[in-house]
Structure 1
């Protein structure tokens, strides 16, 4: 859930009254939010960087409020206050309008939501990039085009000189904020750029705006542009940001439209600020929520959630108007949820479900729990490791090529340690051994968890596979210990040795294991795993210095 930080006193001033921390926490709960933390800038810096760095920082109380990920209209102070005021019947939900451009007196605007939108609905600028500009410093019409990096030259925000786009890519590789977005376009032959009619660069989306049109404290007219790879998301973002700004316009909640001409000649006016209506019955809401309210009462509840509602001529029917700020409402169930929120979850009577079900453990999980206890009784210690790891962990360090691993790769991973979903449990156990080298030998570890493998037959293109992995680390390889663990495992599973209906092992070669010290495990004629002495290169790649044996087996065939 995104978190919005607002100054407490400024929030209370906008709400028109003062709350205690407990009262505001309760108000947030009623509205479907959560007051996550009460802090200050000084406390945050002190906690993250130490007391010395926090000297001179502001003591102003901040409320950190968790907002549902689909409520883009609540990601700034203005939207938050507007929603709470309507919820508390202190104001009516505004109607947003677009008007033709006129030469009116400019109005100062406050920008607070752009970055929150970039991180959420814009998916870190991969779907939509927002640019805000001082309209008085530029002139239309504006042109959105693409050019070679060497042909784009301008002075970016907060810089004192001009750079080409190629130079900017090098400059921002060390920027703690912008470097995370460079991968979106840096390998493309052409970069997107927006010019005004005089050839002034407004922005190079999705990286940086030009310094020429930057917003300042004296800005009174704002031009907002959204470039996107997803036009639906672009419309949502543009509608959201202009409706938040519109409260400060000369005529509140009105926005001047702009005409967009596409290369094929199509013309559209944005923002759309489109309203739509949904009709549903009071009985639907009463039954789903578990209340008994009249049609008029439910219409009032929905109106408190910024969904203007009225009873139609037909009995029991409610017509609900969905404003452009509520892109999260896509189904009658969403409207029902808002009605429940306005009614108050604590006010809904507790009832016993009519359905009678008997809970039971999944067979795979039951088998896992039984094996965990018995392996611990066999003298092995259980480890729980991360499901994500680096490409190097499951490939290079194990003597394999990444293309052979059937690994699911994480797009734009946060760290190098979490690049792929693991295809084997072995790297996690070897890392655990490396972190506990000072413990008394031998180290005997096991883990029974899921790995993730690509599978084209699945609708999501991948599947989970429950595996058991164990390692024995000592001054001697201890292959007999791992072999004994395999025999004990089969004894617990009531599987007898045999080539046709039981289990057997046969010599095999695997780059992860020492040549001539690896065996493949078969059950019912099918390969289910391997055991053996690890290759010295594998051991050293995990910073280990002694021999190690390992067992890796699929337990799903035993269900």
Structure 2
């Protein structure tokens, strides 16, 4: 589960209420989250790097909150506060709208055919007249990083670029060129580098070196230009310094390049819905056009609302409660799923912030959370069984005790691990390591099994 670190006082200010640690922990539990740790920046640095490194660190209290991996809308303060306020009936879920520009044509991102060899898809949008504070800016940057590590799979599926629109000029071109033909000044650098030089420069960068293998073996690298030839970014590695955003930025051009278009749409929707709150017209997003090599034009962000129907009886039976359709609708509305009874059925509207809602079971789970798991009546099972240990397990336990008594130490490790653990961290190339590779790993921590042992994976 991803962990979100949020400053306690800033969180309470946004919620409009001060909680004790115990009260907030209970609120998180009711909402399906977990308050993992109450700490501070100084405490974290002291624990990881020693007291000497923590001398100048902040004493501000941080809440470390565990968030379900598929709840991308809760990976930042804005989404978390919005969700909790709706859950506590202090706020109605906002309605997100896509608008045309007030004047002129929408910003346009043109994709050339050369990108097919590396990252063929892109989406884009504009946040117009946004107001940043230091806390909002930090949250904006942190959300991008959380999404990169989560749904973007360390930028391999999607890479996010955010740019100060007032420093660049559309239409923009997304293309791919030979590394030696790409030259620009990247973020936090004082001079221009070619793409080849950048790949060498970032080999030792503790943050960016992990993303280099995504494109370093490709014959061409993706790059985005504005109409004046200014480089916006070289995804998925680094943005250009020319268009970097700051506290003074008022208009943000957001582009997401991807190998997976569906995930790119989700990422774009999450970013714009979370931070459109700070625009002059709250919860509105200026649309942008993306032109594919075959001439097709698509408008983003989609911000799609869809409707699902299910029966109240289904939810009652699965959760173990007995509520009317009207009461179930109230429960779902508290989870930002606006619902209405239609006779014996319930119509549920899924907002663009909830891509985790795929089928009826997901809706049922939200109803159970809103009802409160501790409030579900206890029932006696209709069948009784007497538990007993398997003979093999009993023998194994006895052997463990005897081995430990003889002075042996038992190590029980995961069968699977990450590619980084058996290659980069040991100074080797993954191609030189004998390992079974999982074609569709669920997380980056379980990508391979060392050795030649064959395994079956569902």
TM-score (structure 1 length as normaliser)? 0.69
Point out where structure 2 has 5 or more consecutive residues left out of the alignment: 104-126, 423-429
SS in structure 2 of the partner of residue 408 of structure 1 = strand
Distance 1:380 1:407, change over 3 A: farther
The answer as to whether partners of 1:406 and 1:453 remain within 8 angstroms in 2 is no
SS in structure 2 of the partner of residue 453 of structure 1 = coil
* Candidates 216, 238, 246, aligned match of 2:276: 246
Greater relative contact order (CA < 8 Å, ≥ 6 in sequence): 2
* Candidates 379, 403, 425, aligned match of 1:351: 379
The match for 2:129 is 106
* Candidates 162, 170, 191, aligned match of 2:221: 191
Distance 1:218 1:328, change over 3 A: same
SS in structure 1 of the partner of residue 211 of structure 2 = helix
The match for 1:502 is none
The match for 1:283 is 313
Q: Structure 1 residues 70-79 or 344-353, which shifts more?
A: 344-353
TM-score (structure 2 length as normaliser)? 0.84
Mapped partners of 2:144, 2:270: distance in 1: 10
Mapped partners of 1:406, 1:149: distance in 2: 31
Mapped partners of 1:298, 1:186: distance in 2: 52
Distance 1:290 1:459, change over 3 A: same
* Candidates 134, 153, 163, aligned match of 1:123: 153
* Candidates 298, 301, 304, aligned match of 1:271: 301
SS in structure 1 of the partner of residue 52 of structure 2 = helix
1:81-96 matched pairs, under 5 angstroms? 81-96=81-96
Query: 1:263 Cα shift?
Result: 0.5
Does residue 85 of structure 2 align to residue 58 of structure 1?
Answer: no
Distance 1:48 1:379, change over 3 A: closer
Question: For 1:375-420, what per-residue CA distance to the aligned partner results, in whole angstroms no more than 9, with x for missing partners?
Answer: 84997946435446899x99xxxxxxx999984147999xxx9995
The match for 2:114 is none
Query: 1:362 Cα shift?
Result: 6.5
* Candidates 324, 342, 345, aligned match of 2:352: 324
Distance 1:126 1:353, change over 3 A: farther
Distance 1:357 1:97, change over 3 A: farther
Distance 1:203 1:290, change over 3 A: same
Q: Which structure would you say has the larger Rg?
A: 1
The answer as to whether partners of 2:130 and 2:276 remain within 8 angstroms in 1 is no
The answer as to whether partners of 1:108 and 1:221 remain within 8 angstroms in 2 is no
Mapped partners of 2:440, 2:373: distance in 1: 39
Mapped partners of 1:233, 1:249: distance in 2: 25
